């Protein structure tokens, strides 16, 4: 799936989610009136935990589900999954690696420029030879 990074402020401004008094996302319980209305009007989203990242994805999902949230603004077929993060300064890097042992090349996306292990031969602690900042990230299903 394609995930667009958004800060909490951006998500609030774009979709106007229902919030609790403390400003966190209000959980929408299945079978409640809000849930039924939001589902009908494409305003229901699912909060997912993807390897520690919080992702808000349009519509109903069951795998890794944490809770449902609803927004004032409906999502459309073009609405991307949203990677919710609170730190607006954080960006993602696409790290490119080249294994010195076996010559295998791969890339990975991470929140910093980290060493990785070769997925082909298992060589440890290989530093990326280049890194670029990423606007959106691809996450394997």
Residues in contact with Zn ion by CB under 5 A are 99, 101-102, 104, 118, 120-121, 123
The token duo for 5 is 């990074």
Residues 6 or more apart whose CB falls under 8 angstroms from that of 10 comprise none
CB of residue 105 vs Zn ion: minimum separation in angstroms?
9
| Cβ-based nearer residue to Zn ion, 61 or 98 | 98
| Cβ-based nearer residue to Zn ion, 37 or 102 | 102
CB of residue 103 vs Zn ion: minimum separation in angstroms?
7
What is the DSSP-derived secondary structure letter of residue 26? Answer: P
Residues 6 or more apart whose CB falls under 8 angstroms from that of 62 comprise none
| Cβ-based nearer residue to Zn ion, 32 or 101 | 101
């Amino acid at each position: 799936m394609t995930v667009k990074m958004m800060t909490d402020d951006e998500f609030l401004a774009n979709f106007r989610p229902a919030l609790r008094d403390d400003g966190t996302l209000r959980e929408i319980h299945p079978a409640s009136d809000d849930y039924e209305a939001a589902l009908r009007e494409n305003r229901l989203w699912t909060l997912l935990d993807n390897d520690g990242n919080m992702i808000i994805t349009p519509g109903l999902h069951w795998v890794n589900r944490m809770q449902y949230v609803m927004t004032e603004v409906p999502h459309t077929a073009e609405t991307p999954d949203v990677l919710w993060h609170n730190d607006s300064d954080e960006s993602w890097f696409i790290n490119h690696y080249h294994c010195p042992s076996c010559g295998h090349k791969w890339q990975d996306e991470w929140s910093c420029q980290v060493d990785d292990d070769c997925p082909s031969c298992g060589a440890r602690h290989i530093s990326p030879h280049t890194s670029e900042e990423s606007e959106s990230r691809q996450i394997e299903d």
